[in-house]
Structures are given as C-alpha cells and as structure tokens.
C-alpha cells in the first residue's frame, strides 16, 4: 500500500497542495489530474521521496519503479542496456550486471510485449516505443509500485494506444500498484480505479474514478466544458472537452 496523510508542500508562503490524504491498496491504479502548474509532478516527487513534505506523512516502499516523461540521452544504447539500468539499485556501488540481470531485463521487456526491441537502438524507436522500454526499465527494478509522470505526453494517438495497451494489461494482472499523472481524463477512466484532482489554490479531491470524473467536475478542474457519454457494454464511459465553448457559471 502507498499513502499520504494530511500531506502538504509549500514553496515560500505559497502552498502547492495541502491536506492531501489517500491510501492506495496493492494492485490498484491512481490517476492524478490537473492543469499545468497545479503541482502534479511535485506530488509525485514527494511520493518518490526526492522532495520532503512540508507537513504530513507518506507511506511508500523503499523500491519504486519510476517512468519519467522522457528519457534524455541514451539514443546509442541498445534497448536491453536501457532496461538493464533498472538493475543498478541491486548491484551495489561498484557492482556490474551479470547474467541474472540480463535475464531480468529480458523478462521485463517480455512483460510489456517489447522483446523485439532488445537489440535495437533506443534512438531508433518511436515515442510510444521509448516509453514502453522505460516502463520495462521500471519493471526490471522488481518494484511493486510504478510511478509514471505524464507517460503519454507528446505521443500521437497511435503511440498513446500502444502505451495504454501495455498499462491496461498490467492493470488487469493487478501485479503492481500504479500512480500516474495525466492531462487526459479519458486515460484516467480507462486505467484508474481512483482519481486525485488538483484544483486551483490548494484544493485536492480524491475518490473512485467513475464518481470523480463527472462532466461538471472536469469542467471545474480544467475551465473547459466536458461531455461524458456512456460507453459500450464492457467499456468505460467517454469524456470529451467541448472546445470553443465556455463553462457555465450556473
């Protein structure tokens, strides 16, 4: 389980977020939504422990698999080498990867359906394929918690679909607890059991995704009208922004 209790983060006199409390059981998925500058990445960094909370407490395992928005460098490396970097925490200060680490990396690539990329250059992959390799790197840590910072950012629809398919398989397996930030409410409806919505000021709402992502609540979150339509049998509802319209003040 991962959790925050009465958590807050302040920069100077301004609170980025405050009084955030949630607990996410093993195997569930949390989507964090909000406009730019609302503190989504800051919240992730406090979960990861790279930023100290100004108040409150966090509960998080020692080993976490992290997937950044993008990977700087590494274009000349084989994808297998990129994934094996996830083993670094298990090797010690001067340890070198061995056969067992290579097997673990190959297993992680297989889990995300990317075995065919093992010998390919990381720089030759599409954006979605890169994100899947970075997800495999996170899995290679053997962490049971995965944290992803806007994993679909800058991806076209085909690559979003590729990445979402992998994440949906992980969700179905319920083998990992997953936390991700996103600007796409539909991704939250597809993937997440729970949603955390970071509004203006320090207002944060948390609850079951299906209950949180109403058209009214999404309009209040983003300042854009939304419509939510019932999905086909066995499929999630569909939420869409109504661009060019204004949010009703009523």
Is residue 44 within 8 A of residue 147, CB to CB? The reply is: yes
Per-residue pLDDT tens over the stretch 122-155: 999 988 899 899 999 999 999 999 999 999 888 8
DSSP per residue, 210-237? HHH--HHHHHHHHSS-EEEEPPPTTS--
Question: CA–CA distance from 59 to each of 81, 113, 129 (Å)?
Answer: 31, 31, 32
Q: Is 8 helix (H, G, I), strand (E, B) or coil?
A: strand
Per the prediction, the chain carries an average pLDDT of 88
How far apart are alpha carbons 22 and 239 in whole angstroms?
A: 25
**End-to-end CA distance of the chain, in Å?**
40
Q: How far apart are CA 221 and CA 32, in angstroms?
A: 12
E-strand spans in the chain?
A: 2-11, 14-24, 29-33, 55-59, 65-67, 145-148, 177-182, 194-198, 204-208, 226-229, 238-241
Whether the pLDDT of residue 229 is over 70: the answer is yes
pLDDT tens-digit profile of 50-66?
A: 999 999 999 998 889 99
Residue 202, pLDDT above cutoff 80 = no
Average pLDDT value for residue range 92-102: 72
Which helix (H) or strand (E) segment holds residue 187: the answer is helix 185-191
């Amino acid at each position: 389980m991962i959790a925050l209790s009465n958590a807050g983060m302040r920069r100077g006199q301004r609170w980025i977020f405050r009084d955030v409390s949630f607990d996410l059981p093993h195997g569930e998925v949390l989507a964090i939504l909000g406009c730019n500058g609302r503190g989504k990445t800051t919240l992730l960094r406090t979960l990861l422990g790279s930023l100290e909370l100004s108040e409150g407490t966090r509960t998080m395992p020692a080993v976490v698999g992290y997937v950044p928005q993008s990977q700087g460098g590494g274009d000349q490396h084989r994808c297998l080498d990129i994934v094996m970097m996830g083993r670094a925490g298990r090797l010690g200060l001067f340890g070198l990867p061995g056969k067992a680490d290579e097997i673990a990396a190959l297993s992680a690539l297989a889990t995300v359906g990317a075995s065919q990329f093992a010998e390919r250059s990381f720089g030759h992959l599409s954006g979605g394929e890169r994100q899947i390799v970075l997800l495999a790197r996170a899995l290679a840590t053997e962490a049971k918690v995965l944290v992803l910072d806007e994993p679909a950012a800058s991806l076209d629809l085909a690559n979003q679909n590729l990445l979402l398919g992998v994440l949906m398989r992980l969700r179905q397996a319920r083998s990992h607890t997953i936390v991700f930030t996103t600007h796409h409410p539909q991704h939250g409806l597809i993937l997440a059991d729970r949603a955390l919505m970071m509004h203006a000021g320090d207002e944060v709402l948390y609850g079951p995704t299906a209950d949180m992502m109403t058209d009214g609540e999404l309009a209040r979150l983003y300042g854009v009208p939304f419509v939510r339509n019932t999905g086909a049998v066995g499929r999630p509802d569909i939420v869409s922004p109504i661009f060019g319209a204004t949010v009703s003040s009523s």
